[in-house]
Structure 1
Amino acid sequence: MGWVQDYEPVGGLWLSALLAALPIIVLLSALGVFRRSAHLSAALALLTALGIAVFAYGMPVGLAGNAALLGLVFGIWPIAWIAFHAVFFHNVTVETGRFESIKAALAGFSPDRRIQALLIAFGFGALLEGVAGGGSPIAITAAMMAALGFPPIKAVVLALLANTAPVAFGGLGNPMIVLGNVTAPLLGVEVEEATQLFSAMSGRQLPFLALIIPAFMVVVLAGWRRMVEVWPALLVTGGSFAITQFLISNYVSPSLVDVGAALAAMGSLWLLTRFWSPREVWRFDSEPAEKTDGHRAGSDAAQTGDGSGAVGDAEPAAGRLATAGRRRSGLYAWMPYLVLIVVIVVSRIGTLFPGLPAWLDVTALLQRATLDIPWAGLHEVVVRVPPITPQDADYPAVLTLDLLFSPGSVALIATIIAGVMMGARPMTLLRVYGRTIVQMRWALATIMMILSISFVMNYSGATSTLGLAFATTGVLFPLFSAFIGWLGVFLTGSDASANSLFGPMQVISAQQLDIDPTLAGGTNSSGGVMGKMISPQNLAVGATAIGQTGKESLLLRKTFLWSILLTLAVGVIALLQSTVLTGMIPH
């Protein structure tokens, strides 16, 4: 028998929960109130977590240190590995000059900053989340918008806000797959059935948020009045994403939700802009405003690349040539991102198309290089007890090194391929790689310490104490289920990790309260995604991507309220589904 967790170490659940929350309180206070840097705030919170684990929970010092060390390593692989190569990819596009072509292509799509934000942060960010996840959408889209002329801080805030609705299905549905795997035995069904149930449940919650998040973004960017001016774009972008998200999550597969919804949103927005544009082109204060007639005539499709107006009827052949040239230029500009998407999709082809011949299943080939390393001195040494688990169970501690299958490794391969295609020499790539290490050093340190806090809280039992405290809320449990997921993603930066951490507890608690466990598990994932925008490692990644390391506290203050309000919205939806809208729960 190993060391047994105690979820009420100071005699009462809520008093114990207050004690368990101290590392989070320290982290938020240092970051948001005292405006310390993310890495310093994380260091203070880590020391607090270790103190609570040892002195309050009675965790042996060696075990606590081992958990902290595993968290540090896990922060490097796979979390920091993914975020780092997302930034490296963007830096290579800038170094080769290709990003200037992307800027020109985006300006040709629409000069209006509101429309650009919808396309890049919401649409393209969702596509990146769908095929990769792991912080890459925040790093890449924030850097893209900043390079286009968006104020750097506002660019990150927009990227963080947008990286919500798609997260539950990110990485080709990985959060849902993880949730299905850890809860299927508790539900008494096969893993595939559990995964599809949770996919359908989140697919009946998140589309409501997808409808309003584009409007949230534009309000943050330009204000309420400017948001109303582009309501057709908001309706088309959010509506197409929401409808596609619902249909694919319920009737196809969680692995394809984000890719399909993102393509639908970007395609719908592009189609709309062929015949509609805002009456006034909105730019930042430092930029000149432009007037339009509120729509696009058919001849506008043949505008010159420099935005000088429509090509005259006297030169139709020249107009057609110019249009063809711009299409080629646009394809040329987006080539690095097309390479990135193709490489990631090919690496996941076995997930998308099960049953492929062995020689075609690139996914299986890449997974052969995966190593599972039990962490000596911690693996199955800690014992979890009911109600966190159905019965006493050893807590595994396994470090998975998916050397080739990790999205970070795939992004590295894609960057090398795209870099060579863009004319970068090996020494150029090495120089940019070294510069990216220097650029991201504090973000990497933050990520490592945040994951270390998470692991110490998990293995000491502090995280479970917090979850159990929320679970005492009875009929209001579905409302608080969203905040349990939010807490998990805040701590880990990952919806999949939050599902692994809290999914079983949510299901068990719901069963004890006679609430549908599918609702509780799905709400854990749906509510969790709203914690993504304030997770310290994501704040650090975003700040680093725009060269604003040390501004994480400012980012937190600008996103914290939105995060709480959106999580509350998910909770209210779940509460309604548990009471008056029970027909929305899949069975």
Structure 2
Amino acid sequence: MTFTQNFTVVGDNLALTAVVALIPILYFFWALAIKRMKGYIAGSTTLLLTLVLAVFAFKMPVVTAVMSATQGAVYGVLPIGWIIITSVFLYKLTVKTGQFDIIRSSVLSITEDRRIQALLIAFSFGAFLEGAAGFGAPVAISAALLVGLGFNPLYAAGLCLIANTAPVAFGAIGIPIIAMEGPTGIPATEVSKMVGRQLPFLSAFIPFYLIVMMTGFKKAFEVMPAILVSGLTFAITQYLSSNFLGPELPDVLSALVSLFALAIFMKFWRPKTIYRFSAEHEIAATTATTMTTTTPKQKHNSYTSGKIFKAWSPFLILTGFISIWGIPTIKLALTGHYEGTNTILKTINSLGHFFTFTPEVPWLHNKVIGASGEPIAAIYKLEILGAAGTAILLAAIVTKYIVSISWRDWALTFGETVNELKYPIITIATVVGYAYVTNASGMTTTLGMVLAKTGALFPFFAPVLGWLGVFITGSDTSANLLFAKLQQVTATSIGMDPVLALAANSSGGVTGKMISPQSIAVACAAVGLAGKESDLFRFTIKHSLFLLLLICIITFLQNNILAWMIP
């Protein structure tokens, strides 16, 4: 039995159908922002509500709706949940073996100032991980690092989510941009150039915005030289790499340039006053003790460069593994799709094929007819070896030998991590399940079609489509795949350059990442705040809307006044 998506199913009217499609989103906002439900309860009830609407309002067969939820839930566990488990596990290994104390002191030796630490870790290091891995790893690891340094967990998670805005469009070796080439036929390099003429404005602004958020305008201006070094080096590298190298490397290069530029700059410049949190002794007693009894210089002197390198090596190894996993030909081999002649890659390909499972989703595969009139394929994508979480697990295995922890303690730590993260994993599974039901039933496309009806104002609203897509799916890649064709067709019909519309979808999407239920659950899981998702959502929602407004204005101006910026 096939199901054909109908975008005017309620009262034979697009607007009424869109109102019904909006109900799960409004419910989720209400559940987290107003009722302050725990994440897994908000996620589960949103999924149930969406299933009811899919069946009764959108006339989707019950079994089709339920199977689409299972497809999403499986994707929520692997690869997303797997990344969170392995990331937090690696971090816990460094804490248990005392290596994180050395990491903390090495960061303090660069600067004791909390503002600069946020720029180095949340902005630059987080962007590097976004470029190499994506899928939650950057927020999970950088937020855990900040908490280890003594940041309030909620604050650390919020800062990392907002800092992650700058790199998302080019995340995971440029996959969000590359993904749009398939459905639209527009070269990824052209979209990369246009995104590289929008996002650098935001990238230059985010470091300033982060510090103002943390400390207010006055204290932000005290570290303005550092903010400018961090933001401008990132933005300029992002523009140059996206316009002259393509979509694969902007994040990795921008992050490294920004990170090293700021670290070097801090050797020659110091803020007049060191900023610390007012309740620092309550946040982390150990950190407060270190800070009040020892200067960072003294503390740093107690560790040799060899010890510091050893302490950082788990994260260096993690970076190496994740970077290797992101190389396109190796990625193909790891998932069993390599067709070249290289002997080593062919061996990896055999392993990858053995550990890759892509069974069809029963009663769903090719049973849904989408907007194009074509049946939609539905498979459970279980790429065990190719998952970024597996790369992080291998880093944790290598780390076992570096930090000299027994296999028993290693395994116990892994078990503790899984136990701690059980509710966040349920949250992620339910919210991704919800995303898949909204897509399969046609709810998401219905909302997109309404925004596409805004006519001459569409250039202003084009980024909202991307924002909405990322909020629902948790992924800029998914949002781009979902709305790329709609953006292209709508833009052409109103005389807007389709390249600008596609770029707007991706750029707008980055501002939705910080409020996506998946991202919220990932961030809370990483800092030990399972069940506090509502607090984090309330923290990020206003920043998400403000940054979205900036992207809307930039896109509108580029369409009407600054058309010379379009490649």
TM-score (norm 1): 0.89
Matched with 1:331 is 309
1:317 is aligned to none
Structure 1: how far apart are the matches of 2:359 and 2:340? 29
- Residue-by-residue CA offset, 1:378-426 (whole Å, 9 max, x unaligned): 11111113xxx3xx11111122222211111111111111222221222
Residue 353 of structure 1 and its aligned partner are, at CA, apart by: 12
Q: Given the alignment, which residue of 458, 479, 485 partners 2:466? A: 485
Aligned residue runs from structure 1 range 557-568, under 5 A = 557-568=538-549
Offset of residue 148 of structure 1: 1.0
State yes or no: 1:381 paired with 2:367.
yes
Q: Determine whether 1:127 maps to 2:128.
A: yes
CA distance in structure 2 between the aligned counterparts of 1:525 and 1:345, rounded to whole angstroms: 23
Give the aligned partner of residue 451 of structure 1.
Answer: 432
Q: Does 1:30 align with 2:31?
A: yes
8 Å CA contact retained: 1:26, 1:44:
no
- Alpha-carbon offset, residue 39 of structure 1: 0.9
Q: 1:123, CA displacement in angstroms?
A: 0.7
2:9 corresponding residue in structure 1: 9
The aligned residue for residue 113 of structure 1 is 114
Query: Which of residues 544, 555, 558 in structure 2 aligns to 1:574?
Result: 555
Distance 1:366 1:46 in 2: 36
- The question of whether the paired residues in 1 share the 8 Å contact of 2:198 and 2:554 is answered with yes
Compute the displacement of 1:488 (Å): 1.1
Partner of 1:584: 565
Aligned to 1:316: none
Match of 2:168 in 1: 167
Which residue is equivalent to 1:427? Answer: 408
Question: What CA deviation, in whole Å up to 9, does each residue of 1:78-131 have, x standing for no partner?
Answer: 221222221122112212221111101111110000001100100111111111
- Name the stretch that deviates more: 7-16 or 270-279: 7-16
8 A Cα contact 2:173 2:247, kept in partner: yes
Q: Match of 1:68, as an amino acid? A: A
Distance in 2 between residues matched to 1:361 and 1:131, nearest whole Å = 20
Conservation of the 8 A alpha-carbon contact between 1:350 and 1:356: no
CA apart distance, 1:507: 1.6
The one-letter amino acid paired with 1:375 is V
1:278-357 matched pairs, under 5 angstroms:
278-286=271-279, 307=295, 326-351=304-329
Match of 1:46 in 2: 47
- Residues 360 and 585 of structure 1: is their aligned pair in 2 closer, same or farther, counting only changes over 3 Å? farther
Q: Deviations over 1:230-270 (max 9, x none)?
A: 11111110000001111111111322111100001111101
Q: CA deviation at 1:323?
A: 7.7
Structure 2 matches for 1:58-77, cutoff 5 A?
58-77=59-78
Say if 1:570 and 1:42 are closer, same or farther in 2 by CA, change over 3 A: same
CA distance in 2, matches of 1:182, 1:95: 47
* Partners of 1:8 and 1:464 in 2: CA distance: 11
Change (3 A) 1:523 1:326: farther
The alignment partner of 2:544 has SS state of: helix
Secondary structure at 1:398 match in 2: coil
The CA distance in 1 between the partners of 2:297 and 2:122, in whole Å, is 27
Relative to the length of structure 2, the TM-score reads: 0.92
Higher mean C-alpha displacement, 418-427 vs 167-176: 418-427
Q: Residues 577 and 280 of structure 1: is their aligned pair in 2 closer, same or farther, counting only changes over 3 Å? A: same
Q: 1:365 to 1:274 in 2, by over 3 A?
A: farther
Name 1:501's counterpart in structure 2.
Answer: 482
Q: What corresponds to 1:235 in structure 2?
A: 228
Question: Within 2, Cα distance between the matches of 1:494 and 1:485?
Answer: 10
SS in 1 for 2:80: helix
Query: What is the alpha-carbon distance in structure 2 between the residues aligned to residue 479 and residue 398 of structure 1?
Result: 36
Equivalent position amino acid for 2:342 in 1: A
CA contact (8 A) 2:140 2:523 kept: yes
How far residue 445 of structure 1 moved from its aligned partner, in angstroms, is 0.4
Q: Could you tell me how far 1:530 is from its partner in structure 2?
A: 0.8
Match of 1:468 in 2: 449
- Partner Cα separation in structure 1 for residue 192 and residue 272 of structure 2: 40
What's the % identity of the aligned pairs?
A: 40
Residue 280 to residue 383, structure 1, CA distance change in 2 (3 Å): same
RMSD: 2.3
Verify: 1:21 aligned to 2:14, yes or no: no
Q: Indicate conservation of the 8 Å contact 2:112/2:296, yes or no.
A: no
Within the candidate set 414, 434, 443, 2:395 is matched to 414
Does 2:141 match 1:140? yes
**1:197 pairs with one of 159, 167, 190:** 190
Taking a change above 3 Å as real, the CA distance of residues 529 and 246 of structure 1, as seen in their structure-2 partners, is same
How far apart in 1 are the matches of 2:103 and 2:382?
34
Match of 2:515 in 1: 534
Aligned-partner residue type, residue 155 of structure 1: A
In terms of mean alpha carbon deviation, does 50-59 or 419-428 score higher?
A: 419-428
Distance change >3 Å, CA 356–CA 423, structure 1 → 2: farther
Worse-matched range after superposition: 61-70 or 121-130: 61-70
- 1:384 alignment partner AA: G
Task: Say whether the 8 Å CA contact 1:204–1:584 is kept in structure 2.
Answer: yes
**Residue 181 of structure 2 aligns to a residue in which SS?**
helix
Query: How big is each residue's C-alpha offset from its partner over 1:190-245, in whole Å with a ceiling of 9 and x where there is no partner?
Result: xxxx2111111111111000011111111121111111111111111000000111
Structure 1: gaps spanning 5 or more residues: 188-193, 289-304, 311-321
AA in 2 matched with 1:492 = T
Partner Cα separation in structure 2 for residue 227 and residue 352 of structure 1: 43
Residue of structure 1 equivalent to 2:79? 78
Is the 1:105–1:333 contact (alpha carbons within 8 Å) kept by the matching residues of 2? no
Amino acid at match of 1:204: R
Kindly indicate whether the alpha-carbon contact (under 8 Å) linking 1:17 and 1:465 is maintained by their aligned counterparts in 2. Answer: yes
Distance 1:9 1:448 in 2: 28
SS in 2 for 1:374: coil
Offset, 1:326: 4.6
In 2 relative to 1, CA 273–366 (structure 1 residues): closer, same or farther, beyond 3 Å?
Answer: farther
Q: Is the 8 A contact 1:70 1:452 kept in 2?
A: yes
In the alignment, structure 1 residue 245 sits paired with structure 2 residue 246: no
Counterpart position of 1:213: 206
Distance 1:569 1:365, change over 3 A: farther
Number of the residue aligned with 1:315: none
Paired with 1:214 and 1:109, the residues of 2 have a C-alpha distance of 18
Using a 3 Å threshold, how does the CA distance of structure 1 residues 257 and 364 change in structure 2: closer, same or farther?
Answer: farther
Structure 2: 5+ residue stretches without partners: 282-292, 333-338
Residues 138 and 163, structure 1, Cα contact 8 Å, conserved in 2 = yes
Query: Counterparts of 1:383 and 1:513 in 2: how far apart (Å)?
Result: 27
Mapped contact 2:143–2:160 kept (Cα < 8 A): yes
Q: Distance in 2 between matches of 1:211 and 1:130?
A: 17
Distance in 1 between residues matched to 2:3 and 2:490, nearest whole Å? 24
Could you tell me how far apart the structure 2 residues matched to 1:309 and 1:166 are?
33
**Residues of 1 paired with 2:472 and 2:419: CA distance?**
25
The DSSP-based 3-state class of the residue aligned with 2:359 is: strand
Quick one: structure 1 residues 339 and 205, their matched pair in 2 at CA, closer, same or farther if it must change by over 3 Å?
same
- Please give the alpha-carbon distance, in whole angstroms, between the structure 1 residues aligned to 2:492 and 2:86: 42
Amino acid at match of 2:361: W
Q: Which residue identity is paired with 2:198? A: Q
Structure 1 contact 89–415 (Cα < 8 Å) conserved: yes
SS at match of 1:428: helix
Which residue, 342, 352, 356 being the options, matches 1:358?
342
Distance across 1 between alignment mates of 2:523 and 2:268: 34
